[in-house]
Chains A and B, each alone.
Chain A
Amino acid sequence: MAETQAEKIPVTVLTGYLGAGKTTLLNRILSEPHGKKFAVVVNEFGEIGIDNDLVVGADEEVFEMNNGCICCTVRGDLIRIIDGLLKRKDGFDGIIVETTGLADPAPVAQTFFVDETVGAKTKLDAVVTVADAKWLKDRLKDAPEAKNQIAFADVILLNKTDLVSEAELKDVELRIRAINPFARIHRTQRSDIAIDKVLGQGAFDLDRIQAIDPDFLEAGHKHFHDEDMRSVSFTSELPLDPDKFFPWIQELTQREGPNILRSKGILAFKNDPDRFVFQGVHMILDGDHQRPWKPDEPKLSRIVFIGRKLDVPALEKGFRACVA
């Protein structure tokens, strides 16, 4: 699997609420001399000041899969565009998909798990969200889209930091943490960031799930409690029973899929020398044995959910019941 993975073209999903600095970031990625070539799928032509035949306009056409799952929405236009881009003679190093400021990142992400051809030739690298340091706090209150974009992100650019004080920055970072404990947050001005902090993140690569940092999980919750969108995590020092865990997580994500935006876990199963890692986007789950537990590594199972209206006691009870 490792060999074929390496040949897949990485896809970065670029989101961010209106005016946060998405286009500025995109222009930077396209204009800086890094020697790489990117195909870019944009939602509005003309915003990008660069004449590039690898820039393709998209209509953000979302449809529901006929699999009885109301949250399994997919960007059909993206499937078609990526099919077309993959046929180009002169290849490229990556694809960047920009969404509109009001878009939900989920259908874009799910596209890469649902279509076989797209999944065979490309891989989702990361969801990158640009957030306005000054206005994010307000948007988290009044714009569910902004909340989705933060909850979904693997990388967050906290942009326009020159417009706020250090205390305000810390405050907004904690608010982000309360929703999303594992995104990497970078403070930026005018979306100025080294591209290796944005691209090539491997956020959906099971091999690269290292640890889920408990400090991050706690940091936000101590200060803010967002009842609508939040993250929740559970740990178990006792090994889990795979015959209990898999039916539970599958049933849970089938039932609560629309509310669970993302999930991630590192699990120790009984009589299994390997770490099992998994991650999910709504009800699409991807998991595998990753590597043997190291001798000095505590065999701790940890699972995180980011979502809306999470029934924390029920989730905890369900997870505890998976102990072998």
Chain B
Amino acid sequence: MAVNSTPSSLTSKLRAHALDGAVVGAAYLGATPVFALAEGVLAFAGEEPLRVEAHKGVLLSLAADARSILSGGDDGRVVRTRGDGSTEVVFEQKGRWIDQVAIGADAIAFSAGKTAHFQPAKGEMKTLTVASTVGGLAFAPKGTRLAVAHYGGVTLWFPNAQAKPEFLEWKGSHRGVAFSPDMRFVVTTMQESALHGWRLSDGGHMRMSGYPARVKSMAFTAGGKFLATSGSNEAILWPFASKEGPMGKQPSMLAPRDVRVSCVAAHPKDEVIAIGFEDGMAMLVRISDGAEILARAPDASPVSAMAWRADGGALCIGTESGSAGVLVL
């Protein structure tokens, strides 16, 4: 380890869960941590463990709000699962894969191949077909704008308006996509080891590169001052506090090690991020001073998903081998 001092540790408080499959997503339904397994199962890791078979196949995508989890699978189904373990098939298209799902304020969205679907809580479903398979899907924090990432850029879709979708162009394959909490920026993770961003006010480009590996995980911190990312041997945090975004500024680097960061999750209230590594170690790091607390000891399996409870009082951590843990602070 490359840290100078032994970080303080919370590993004794971590309640371990052995799950029988790779964890591909994690979320809290109220106070209950839920791990999504590749084989289509949602494993509720609360006081009464529960296994919900959401998909008859691989679970490809996951999104959650306080009340429900939305998942997409290679069985062509979009499934909503609630805190009591009940499920509802929201959409089904046989023979297709549901690659992306997203939850908005009063709507959900998902994609199969090149087509993005928007389903409001009340009203008819709308669809938008883009140039290539949808690589990422995200609702704007307010309103019903959707960012749809694909080859060559991002399409901003306003499903409730007559307005033509807006196209943010940048060459290459765009995969994950996110709005900044203040809605000034849209950022994508690319197939290359880089992020790309657009300033929505004027379409200005932001190139964030220099990663040794593809960035698979990104999260805006509470308040939106930073965008934390995986893909390097430390968490890379791009400063988004100013109007210009991160251009011309150096990113902060937290928790440097000789192992790559595989997953990041931002604390919902404080400027703290959870950082998961490819060897299974997880740390909590305070952004202001870089103070580290060990949350999970390494066990050789990459951290593949993490989620904070809405009040920030608990964190769940899942890995590719199915070893998982829940930390109540």
Contacts and interface: CB of A to CB of B under 8 A. Distances in A.
B101 interface: no
Q: How large is the interface on B (under 10, 10 to 19, 20 to 34, 35 or more residues)?
A: 20 to 34
Given A65-B191, A66-B192, A45 B173 contact: no
Contacts of B190: 66
Contacts of A84: 58, 60, 74, 97
A116 to B, nearest CB: 6
A87 B58 contact: yes
B191 A79 contact: yes
A66 B133 contact: no
A76 to B, nearest CB: 4
A74 B60 CA distance: 22
B171 A64 contact: yes
A111 to B, nearest CB: 10
B58 A88 contact: yes
A89 B172 contact: no
Contacts of A88: 38-39, 57-58
A76 B22 CA distance: 23
Contacts of B24: 87
A80 interface: yes
Contacts of B286: none
Nearest to B320: A87
Q: How large is the interface on A (under 10, 10 to 19, 20 to 34, 35 or more residues)?
A: 20 to 34
A12 to B, nearest CB: 22
Contacts of A116: 213-214
A246 interface: no
Given A77-B133, A79-B191, A87-B24, A66 B171 contact: yes
A174 to B, nearest CB: 41
Interface of A: 45, 53, 56-57, 59, 61, 63-67, 74, 76-77, 79-81, 84, 87-89, 114-117
Considering the complex of A and B, which 4 residue pairs feature the smallest CB-CB distances, nearest first?
A: A87-B38, A66-B172, A76-B173, A87-B58
26 contacts: A45-B95, A56-B97, A59-B113, A59-B114, A59-B133, A63-B173, A64-B171, A64-B172, A65-B172, A66-B171, A66-B190, A66-B194, A74-B191, A76-B132, A77-B132, A80-B133, A84-B58, A84-B60, A84-B74, A87-B38, A88-B38, A88-B39, A88-B57, A89-B21, A89-B39, A117-B214
